[in-house]
Structure 1
Amino acid sequence: MFKSDPPPSYEESRHDQLRAGICPYVPYGSPPPSGVYPGAGQPGMYPPPGAPSMMPTFFPSAGSPTTPGGSEDFAADGLWESKSVRHAFIRKVYLILAIQLLLTTSIVAVFTFVDPVRLFVIKYPGIYWASFAVYFVAYIILVCCEGPRRRFPWNFVLLFIFTLALSYMTGTIASYFDTKAVFLALGITAVVCVLVTLFCFQTKVDFTSCTGLFCVLAMVVLVTGIIATVVLSFQYVPWLHMLYAAIGAVVYTLFLAYDTQLLLGNRSHSLSPEEYVFGALSLYVDVVQIFLFLLQITGSSTD
């Protein structure tokens, strides 16, 4: 479908806020707010904006940074708090993703096994194009508008509409293929997604540092798709169709690795913990696209 650049990371947004002077400023010589570390060399004073600080600004309330070993204890607590927030964010993303995939799998199963439904969606292709329009509008809003994407319950309403539209499109495409091909593509997709996820959690390779390369890969898929669509509309060329499907499956597998590492928080780029909707949206699109490209390959091989 479509890919877009991820929103700024949590650290980048915090840095931009500090540079813009959004954080509250207390005049020099005044006591610092509760829970705010006053800065190195300024006991009891809050440093002016731009003053360098060797320690994080906010600390847990227990202990004191001036006691022996206090700085190390606070640093460890802050590190643990950051990890716990990131782990909670990852769990939330995969919970949303699991619900999306369950809905999509159910719709695909109905469109594949229930003959009246399968014949209906094939007979009325206009519903498919209407669902594509809904999918496109919801996708643009979720990707480009930070307000609706982060505001509950509108973010979940838009995500549900987006998931329902893409599930209908996926089920409609699957209804044109043999049941064996659908099951084979579904099984391969599940294996690929599990292997890619485990690899991303274990490897030291940073896919997020290769943003330019992924932009090029997206353009390759787009150009190849346009060429294949134009050529296949005049004459069906099996090897061209298979080539396009193989390129798409490989590229979106790499996109899945890229989007997975954006969740981890220990790479060159990462998602803010507030962007759980965007994280689930990105992974969901990657998984569905892998399934659709593999379905074209398995469908051609089982004919």
Structure 2
Amino acid sequence: MWNSQGFGKIGGDVEAGERPLYPMMVESPDLRWSFIRKVYSIIAIQLIATVAVGFFVLTVHPVANFFLGSTAGLVVYILIIFVPFITLCPLSYYYQKHPVNYLLLAIFTISIAFAVGLSCAFTDEKVILEAVILTAVVVIALTLYTFWAASRGQDFNFLGPFLFGAVIVLIVFGFIQVLFPLGKISTMIYGCIAAIIFCGYIVYDTDNLIKRYSYDEYIWASVSLYLDIINLFLSLLSIFRAADN
């Protein structure tokens, strides 16, 4: 028989084929692996685009000077920050409709990449490189750990409510920092807390990728993990930048 999400035959494919990703896996391992490869391929393209756009913003100095050195540029920069949130609204409706979903995902990714590039503007290249290397190491390590843990029956779904509450605290803390700057030490503490939270989200969203997302939700799975990686990078960047000053 077929499972409720239409992934594959319950039991038969798992017993006759590959080792499942996690105990009690109900869909075909081939289909789940195909889904995972598709999601990570999209994320890889998103990260390459982010690096390319960020490099452009960093190397073409008039771009950063316009956005961060003039009132008009600052207004446009604020609008760019809101573009990803605005794009998520139609994306939630068209995420299964090709090629509209990929077009919206491209707009979402490029706008975030531009904001990341401007966040890195006027930052020492050594600091950026340190943040990139540490982000890559942490993401790979946490991803491998989550796959290993899932194959042994561990479940990280319980992290959801705790991480959501932690993000609320992080947002409030950020507003306090904007209104009442508390200095370099406070910035480093904020960055450390944010890094820990988004490490948790990488584990949580990777676990969802392995077990809970349906095959048609590859766009949402990609968006979730991409945002986790970008937020982890920005958190580490704030730590290294504060320590370098």
Given the two structures, how large is their TM-score scaled by the length of structure 2?
0.85
Q: Does structure 2 conserve the Cα–Cα contact (< 8 Å) formed by 1:122 and 1:176?
A: no
Residues 140 and 59 of structure 1: is their aligned pair in 2 closer, same or farther, counting only changes over 3 Å? closer
- CA distance in 1 between partners of 2:33 and 2:62 (Å): 44
Partner of residue 273, structure 1? 215
CA deviations 1:120-152 (Å, max 9, x no partner) are 33222222112122111012333xx3x311111
Identify which range, 239-248 or 203-212, moves more after superposition.
203-212
- 1:126 — aligned with what? 75
CA–CA separation in structure 2 for the residues paired with 1:194 and 1:186: 12
* Residue aligned with 1:241, SS: helix
Partner of 2:118: 172
Match of 2:199 in 1: 253
Structure 2 unaligned spans of 5+:
21-26
Alignment of 1:202-221 (within 5 A): 202-203=148-149, 204=152, 205-221=154-170
Query: Deviations for 1:216-240, whole angstroms, at most 9, x for unmatched residues?
Result: 22222122222222211xxx52111
Cα separation, partners in 2 of 1:148 and 1:73, compared to 1, 3 Å: closer
- Partner Cα distance (2:192, 2:165) in 1: 17
Counterparts of 1:220-235 in structure 2, within 5 Å, are 220-232=169-181
Is the 2:14–2:29 contact (alpha carbons within 8 Å) kept by the matching residues of 1? no
* 3-state SS, counterpart of residue 129 of structure 1: helix
**CA spacing shift, 1:254–1:295, aligned 2, 3 Å:** same
Show CA shifts across 1:179-231 (max 9, x none).
22111111111111111111111124321233222222222212222222221
Counterpart selection for 1:88 from 31, 34, 38: 34
Match of 1:135 in 2: 84
Q: 1:74: Cα distance to partner?
A: 6.7
RMSD: 2.5
Aligned to 2:122, the other structure's residue is in SS state coil
Alignment CA distance shift 1:250-1:140 (3 Å): farther
What amino acid is the match of 2:46?
A: Q
**2:208 aligned residue:** 262
How far has the Cα of 1:241 moved from its partner?
1.3
Q: Does residue 196 of the first structure (1) align with residue 142 of the second (2)?
A: yes
2:99 equivalent among 153, 168, 192? 153
- Equivalent pair of 2:131/2:240 in contact (CA under 8 Å): yes
TM-score, length of structure 1 as denominator length? 0.70
Query: What do the CA deviations read for 1:8-54 (whole angstroms, capped 9, x no partner)?
Result: xx96xx28x9xxxxxxxxxxxxxxxxxxxxxxxxxxxxxxxxxxxxx
Listed one character per residue, the Cα deviations across residues 141-192 of structure 1 (whole Å, up to 9, x for unaligned) are 33xx3x3111111111110110011011111111032222111111111111
Corresponding residue for residue 69 of structure 1: none
Structure 2 equivalent of residue 289 of structure 1: 231
Alpha-carbon shift at residue 113 of structure 1 (Å): 2.7
* Alignment length (residue pairs): 230
Distance 1:293 1:201 in 2: 24
Conserved 8 A contact 1:59-1:78: no
Q: Does 1:238 find its partner at 2:177?
A: no
Contact 1:246 1:297 in 2 (8 A): yes
Quick one: distance in 1 between partners of 2:12 and 2:45?
39
CA distance in 1, matches of 2:136, 2:147: 17
Give 1 or 2 for the bigger CA radius of gyration: 1
Q: Which has the higher helix share?
A: 2
How many angstroms apart in 2 are the aligned matches of 1:276 and 1:183? 30
Identify the match of residue 116 of structure 1 among 59, 62, 73: 62
CA shift for structure 1 position 300: 1.3
- What is the rounded CA distance, in whole Å, between the counterparts of 1:264 and 1:59 in structure 2? 17
Counterpart of 1:298 in structure 2 is 240
* Displacement after TM superposition at 1:82 (Å): 1.3
Name the CA distance, whole Å, in 1 between partners of 2:12 and 2:183.
66
Identity value in percent:
30
